[in-house]
Amino acid sequence: MTILTVTTQPIEGQKPGTSGLRKKTRVFMTTHFVENFVHAILTAIGGAAEKTFVLGGDGRYFSPQVAQVILRMCAAAGAAKVIVGRDALLSTPAASHLIRLNKTDGGFIMSASHNPGGIEEDFGLKFNMPNGGPAPESVTDAIFEATTTISEYRILEAHDVDLSTIGESSLGDMKVEVVDPVTDYANLMETLFDFPKLRAMFAAGFRMRFDAMCAITGPYATEILERRLGAPTGTVVNGTPLPDFGGMHPDPNPTWAKDLMDVMFAPDGPDFGAASDGDGDRNMVVGKATYVSPSDSLAVLAANAHLAPGYRGGIAGVARSMPTSAAADRVAEALGVEAYETPTGWKFFGNLLDAGKVTLCGEESFGTGSNHVREKDGLWAVLLWLNVLAERGQTVAEILTEHWARFGRNYYSRHDYEALPIDQANAIVENLRARLPDLPGTVVEGLTVATADDFAYTDPVDGSVSEHQGLRVTFTEGSRFVIRLSGTGTEGATLRLYLERYVHGPDGLGDVVQQALSPIIKAADSLAGIKAATGRQGPDVVT
């Protein structure tokens, strides 16, 4: 085997976002694109000599080829070992767990998360740190810097490694260990939740539907729900991961998981439903005829986490991304623990988790997790909900009703305007940003602006500062809206409008969320001018 030194040059557009680098698959397939980016990662982390890594992903199109490139480049860089999920498959939370379990030096995750897959769709690659969490900005900045100065990379000339068989082999001087992608993760879940009680609940006739959306969580859900917990065969649907996710958009929300919503709102619907995304780190939870918003899900889980064996001692604190509703803050206050508000991006939770300041974290974008790993974890959230249902012996609707009666309700929604021209989306944000200092005291649609700012975050652990994290406008009665540009798309720009209205206890507004938020929706459009600027009559996705 020979180590080749290949001449290359910088390729534009290799700046990682909050979750690594995401582009159209065909972009990743262009000459040197993958190799340049992998070289940049290895450079940014100080090289690979004598290090051990984890490698896997959600199985989307082009993953097998990228896995082989990463292996050959790690071998050329002197890595000691790479632990790979069989067939290069690993959910993002399972990869995080393997990094932590094996005390490796980090891991490569091939995924574009909830984005569609296929040769004409999206691909992504990110590096997770030794704590199992996404690389912080200091590292992603270093990766980008390395992509701008690259002139050559090194790669081992070798045949592809067999990743279909569990066991250990060699690639040059580097060991490659292929492991079952599910077992270690499933074993971890058994330590956190009351599996005997959940088995008894299913044996008593509890009905559930889990839509894996032809993505990576299918094998995990099948092993845990159907095999270990005894849920009937067929509880997991769309459970086989496919390179193009079966043509599905693997984003677990009411728009893209409409089949699940239809089943759950049918007269004979199951007791509980859930869906997960492309790489397994997001979740949508639905009760019988009852949709649970991600913000409410985080708050309910924070209030009830002590019912699960892994959290019997209570939680140290809770963290949420700034655009996520403040529902969890009210729970934290009642529990006497700290609540933290961070920018969007799971990496911002890492320091809080490592420092023991929080136990649960969540984002409005269907991500929830805890200190068991350093990524959000879709199936974990589903299992915690099941544990709560088993302990309380109530329906999802009953639990929500009691929660709102105790803590009040944060009516909440997110409106996404997708694939906007980048200049147009930037103009909307910049025009509103320029007006923020003059907005307090302004009356719009009958609401008076109390505060308006551009969110900045100072990390309470390391003191790092992150600015320009979203525009916030809060009204005197406590309602608010937030506007920010998403960093998870691969073409154009996605403008996200977050809307929130808090009411004390039962209010007569019922479950007509968009109607309850109507004044804030009108005020947001009046101030930001989204419809006028885009020419669109409404958002593409409402969650």
Which has the minimum average pLDDT: 22-26, 63-67, 180-184, 489-493?
489-493
Locate all alpha helices (DSSP H) within 193-252, ordered by sequence: 195-203, 217-221
Taking the CA atoms of 253, 257, 260 and 264 in sequence, report the sign of the dihedral they define: positive
Distance, CA of 486 to chain centre: 13
- Does the pTM of the predicted model rise above 0.95? no
pLDDT at 508 over 70: no
* Alpha carbon distance 370, 378 (integer Å): 11
Residue 139 has pLDDT above 90, yes or no: yes
CATH of domain 2-179: 3.40.120.10
Question: Degrees (nearest 5) of the Cα angle 219, 312, 303?
Answer: 85
Backbone angles phi, psi at 271, to 5 degrees: -75, -30
Q: Note the pLDDT of residue 426.
A: 93
Place of tokens 């938020």: 517
Looking at the chain, which residues constitute the CATH 3.40.120.10 domain(s)?
A: 2-179, 185-407
Strand partners, 458: 465
Q: Kindly indicate whether the domain formed by 409-542 is annotated with CATH number 3.30.310.50.
A: yes
Share of the chain above pLDDT 70, in %: 98
Residues 68-78, mean pLDDT to the nearest whole number: 98
- Residues above pLDDT 90, as percent of the chain: 89
Give the per-residue pLDDT at 513: 87
Residue pair 316/332 in contact by the 8 Å Cβ criterion: no
Residue, of 455 and 1, whose pLDDT is higher: 455
Q: Is the pLDDT of residue 181 over 90?
A: yes
Give the span between the Cα atoms of 149 and 135, in whole angstroms. Answer: 20
Phi first, then psi, for residue 64 (nearest 5°) are -60, -40
491, pLDDT greater than 70? no
Three-state DSSP class for residue 265: coil
- Report CA-CA distances (Å) from 13 to 37, 69, 123, 221: 10, 20, 14, 36
Range with the lowest mean pLDDT among 196-205, 315-324, 496-505? 496-505
What residues pair up with 472 in beta bridges, in sequence order?
Answer: 453, 482
Output the six-digit token pair for 82. 């790479």
Q: How far is the C-alpha of 264 from the C-alpha of 274, rounded, in Å?
A: 10
What is the distance in angstroms between the CA of the first residue and the CA of the last residue of the chain?
52
> 365-411: per-residue pLDDT in tens?
899 999 999 999 999 999 999 999 999 999 999 999 999 999 999 99
Mean pLDDT of the 310-338 span: 96
- By annotation, the residues acting in catalysis are 113
pLDDT in tens, 19-30: 899 999 999 999
Q: Which of 347, 189, 460 is nearest to 361 (CA)?
A: 347
CA distance 474 to 449: 6
Mean residue pLDDT across the chain: 95
The DSSP bridge partners found for residue 290 are 287
Residues of the chain with CATH 3.30.310.50: 409-542
Tell me, rounded to whole angstroms, the distance of Cα 382 from its chain centroid: 14
pLDDT of 494-504, one tens digit each? Answer: 999 999 998 88
Contact 340, 352 (CB under 8 A): yes
Return the closest-CA partner of residue 82 out of 178, 4, 162, 160.
Answer: 178
Q: Distance between CA 39 and CA 77 in Å, rounded? A: 9
Q: Residue 376: left (phi > 0), alpha (psi -120 to 50), or beta?
A: beta
Of 61, 396, 421, the residue nearest 206 (C-alpha): 396
What single-letter amino acid sits at 509?
L
d(CA 293, CA 298): 9
- CB count within 10 Å of CB 290 equals 20
- Residue 36 scores a pLDDT above 90: yes
pLDDT tens, residue by residue, 517-542: 999 999 999 999 999 999 998 888 88
The tokens for 282 are 């997001």
Domain 185-407 belongs in CATH node 3.40.120.10: yes
How far apart CA 329 and CA 317 sit, in angstroms, is: 10
Q: What is the pLDDT of residue 19?
A: 83
Tell me 215's DSSP state.
S
Q: Residue 413 class from Cβ within 10 Å (0-12 exposed, 13-18 middle, 19+ buried)?
A: buried
